[in-house]
């Protein structure tokens, strides 16, 4: 048997040579001076060779330990060389099958049938809350305890709805991994009932009775709101689109000659192009805005960053902090809906203008009316006239049945 001193002093020669240590192990000495531990063994009637490491990184004691471990495997009928290849392949597959990699694969498989805004929200939530915590773990190794710890961090931020949605998305990811044979069970399923229940938080809507006061205060010069924000709020009330659709509105989407705003499919929640007929009042707002931002891409760019849209907090902050109404910009969709119903407009016309997918089982009888554009044009102009009347203090008489 070799000693460490003998191994250290073995000189390189012009040709590669071997020095035996015992038990089939030897040192392979190269002309470069490099020294490799090797084990010669037989299994299944075939002679094979196993690399045990490179000296001096692997000393003689560690090399012998590796030799003995390999020989025990051989005694058990296991080929140590083949076993090593299996372990390496398993490690490679585990690295490729991390929670993050499988989650992104799942997202890519489903994104085509989601609206772009939904796809973006799911991916952002995973990147913000899941990947930093469990992303690098092999998906088969993620435990319910690890998931719960991740969820608790989200709950600590009082984001209970996000916590529930993330648990649901994780569950879908694990079920996808089961189907694709990357894991055996869904640990997110074990968290049902373990999450805190959030109180339902509806987007506060302005009561119809407060519309006159809101509209008049919006024009009050004593209220310190930036002029473009005033115009954005006015257009929000007039069109009752989703605030995200308004903030990112582009000049190229407007056709003032046709009095139309066409919001492209990639910017809508439902993933379909949405047409907003523009009332005379909405066109007037756009004309006021044109000298301010008409030279750029966006109607409402972020101040100092013309390529980015207005912040999602700008409208709500203006409504709540400066105008003094405890409501949200999104809430004007509900305000418009309830008021238009009061004025006699039909539910399916309002619903389509809100940009909802038509519920065919309810509104199937109206399918021949396409998108009800003529009715929607008349409704949007009537809505603009109604707001003018409210702001001026004129008496408003509901037009029940007139829209039918």
Q: Give catalytic residue positions.
A: 242, 269, 330, 333, 356, 366
Q: Are 36 and 17 in contact (CB under 8 A)?
A: no
| Six token digits for residue 122 | 């799911």
Outline where 299-372 has alpha helix (H). 314-317, 331-342, 347-353, 360-363
Residues 6+ apart with CB under 8 A from 133: 146, 149, 150, 153
Q: For the chain, what's the residue count?
A: 404
In sequence order, the β-bridge partners of residue 302 are: 305
Q: Which helix (H) or strand (E) holds 21?
A: strand 17-22
In sequence order, the β-bridge partners of residue 46 are: 43
**Which contacts qualify for 35-44: CB closer than 8 Å, 24 or more apart?**
35/7, 35/10, 37/63, 37/66, 37/67, 39/66, 39/67, 39/70, 39/80, 41/70, 41/71, 41/74, 41/80, 43/74, 43/77, 43/79, 44/79
Radius of gyration of the chain (CA): 34
Q: CA 394, CA 381: separation in Å to the nearest integer?
A: 17
- Which of 228, 186, 232, 199 shows the shortest CA–CA distance to 332? 232
Q: Are 177 and 213 in contact (CB under 8 A)?
A: no
Q: Are 207 and 312 in contact (CB under 8 A)?
A: no
Strands 46-55 and 305-309: unpaired
* Owner of token pair 């009752």: 240
The DSSP annotation for 153-186 comes to HHHHTT-HHHHHHHHHHHHHHHHHHHHTTS-S--
Q: CA 278, CA 261: separation in Å to the nearest integer?
A: 7
């Amino acid at each position: 048997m070799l000693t460490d001193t003998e191994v250290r002093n073995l000189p390189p020669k012009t040709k590669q040579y071997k020095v035996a240590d015992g038990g089939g192990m030897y040192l392979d000495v190269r002309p470069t001076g490099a020294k490799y531990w090797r084990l010669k063994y037989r299994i299944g009637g075939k002679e094979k060779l196993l690399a045990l490491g490179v000296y001096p990184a692997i000393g003689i004691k560690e090399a012998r330990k590796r030799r003995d471990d390999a020989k025990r495997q051989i005694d058990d009928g296991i080929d140590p060389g083949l076993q090593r290849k299996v372990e390496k392949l398993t490690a490679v597959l585990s690295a490729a099958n991390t929670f993050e990699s499988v989650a992104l694969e799942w997202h890519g498989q489903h994104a085509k049938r989601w609206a772009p805004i939904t796809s973006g929200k799911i991916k952002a939530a995973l990147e913000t809350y899941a990947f930093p915590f469990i992303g690098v773990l092999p998906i088969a190794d993620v435990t319910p305890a690890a998931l719960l710890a991740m969820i608790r961090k989200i709950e600590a931020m009082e984001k209970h709805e996000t916590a529930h949605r993330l648990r649901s998305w994780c569950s879908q990811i694990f079920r996808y991994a089961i189907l694709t044979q990357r894991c055996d069970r869904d640990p997110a399923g074990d968290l049902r009932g373990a999450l805190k229940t959030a109180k339902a938080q509806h987007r506060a809507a302005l009561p119809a009775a407060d519309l006159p006061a809101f509209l008049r205060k919006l024009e009050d010069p004593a209220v310190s709101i930036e002029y473009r924000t005033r115009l954005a709020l006015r257009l929000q009330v007039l069109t009752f689109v989703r605030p995200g659709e308004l903030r990112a509105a582009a000049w190229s989407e407007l056709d003032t000659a046709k009095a139309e705003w066409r919001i492209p499919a990639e910017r809508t929640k439902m993933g379909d192009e949405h047409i907003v007929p523009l009332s005379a009042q909405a066109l007037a707002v756009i004309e006021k805005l044109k000298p301010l931002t008409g030279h750029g891409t966006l109607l409402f760019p972020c101040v100092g960053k013309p390529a980015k849209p207005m912040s999602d907090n700008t409208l709500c902050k203006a409504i709540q902090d400066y105008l003094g109404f405890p409501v949200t910009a999104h809430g004007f969709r509900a305000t418009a809906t309830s008021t238009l119903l009061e004025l006699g407009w039909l539910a399916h016309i309002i619903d389509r203008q809100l940009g909802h997918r038509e519920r065919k089982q309810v509104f199937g009888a109206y399918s021949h009316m396409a998108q009800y554009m003529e009715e929607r044009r008349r409704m949007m102009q009537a809505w603009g006239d109604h707001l003018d009347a409210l702001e001026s203090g004129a008496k408003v008489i509901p037009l029940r049945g007139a829209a039918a």
